[in-house]
Copies of this chain bind each other. A is one copy, B any other.
Amino acid sequence: MPERAEWIAVDWGTSALRIWAMRGSEVLAETRGSEGMGQLAPEDYEAVLLRHAERYLAGDRVTEVLVCGMAGARTGWREAPYRAVPCTPAGEGAVKVPVRDERLKVRILPGLSQARPVDVMRGEETQIAGFLAGRPRFDGVICLPGTHTKWVQISAGEVVSFRTFMTGELFALLAGQSVLRLSVASDGHDADAFRDAVGDAISRPESLGAALFSLRAGSLLEGLDPVVARARLSGLLIGLELAGARPWWLGAEVVLIGSAAVAEPYREALAAQGLAAELVSGERMALAGLIAAREVMA
């Protein structure tokens, strides 16, 4: 019989959720589900949560559940309105979610918004809070690579400003759905081709559309290796982003938060520009952020 949790931490994203059964800051058990926000209606969430976490609930008291991520979107479980930057990354503005099961008390952490340039994040603020919990004096830039990569300026424990680039989603669309799918391998990497493409995109960002089609033409005319094509596609898109994000990383201390698979190419691309970025696990930071937010809220 599993141990009962003091509280439950949940990172509920667009395509998956992670659940930790907690006692204070100690993890008693961990589980995952594939029921992301993208496939759920508001009335589905409580049942999904119970399916994965009921075994951690005590029968004789209320167990607190703290959720971050897309479950707080307008189209999620219940909207947790954005907090405007500059502000601390997490702990304020949690929204209580009405539930039927009396053993549950559920709150969702809000995302962050920015007026100029207009931007939003949801979920990443909790990873940032987790990072700052361990490094409260950090003053610099955090980059969270992903479907929608975030560049975040941190100072005095606050998110000062941020900017989102659609790089990950562009890669997925081009590699999976465009004519390039016929020329690009579904995995594999070539460090030289990647680095060259990063450099090409940084020096000629305006040529993206032509550089992309060259992958197809190279494959038709010259038998371009699909693994090289994949590395070039990734390099062109990350290079374009680095060109646009240059004010963020140039001369800054940069920390990359994310899974190794997604963050490592960014580390590689920044290294080629002479910048040594630190790489930190996003999953660990999400949990650390939920723990930190709970402490702030207590």
Q: Which residues of A contact B (CB under 8 A)?
A: 74, 82, 113-115, 117-120, 148-149, 163-167, 169-170, 173-174, 177-179, 204-210, 212-214, 216-218, 220-222, 237, 240-241, 243-246
Contact = CB atoms under 8 A, between A and B. Distances in A.
Contacts of A216: 120
A206 B202 CA distance: 8
A120 B177 contact: no
A120 B218 CA distance: 9
User: 7 closest Cβ contacts across the A-B interface?
Assistant: A165-B209, A206-B243, A205-B206, A206-B244, A164-B213, A207-B244, A173-B173
Contact of A217 (B118, B174, B213): B118
A217 B173 contact: no
A212 B212 CA distance: 18
Contact of A169 (B178, B214, B220): B178
Total copies of this chain within the assembly: 2
Contact of A119 (B163, B179, B217, B245): B217
A221 B82 contact: yes
Contacts of A173: 173-174, 177-178
Given A113-B221, A221-B118, A240-B208, A213 B165 contact: yes
Of A115, A177, A222, A237, the most chain B CB neighbours within 10 A belong to: A177
B210 A208 contact: no
B213 A166 contact: yes
A86 to B, nearest CB: 16
Contacts of A244: 204, 206-210
A209 B167 contact: yes
Contact of A170 (B205, B207, B209, B220): B209
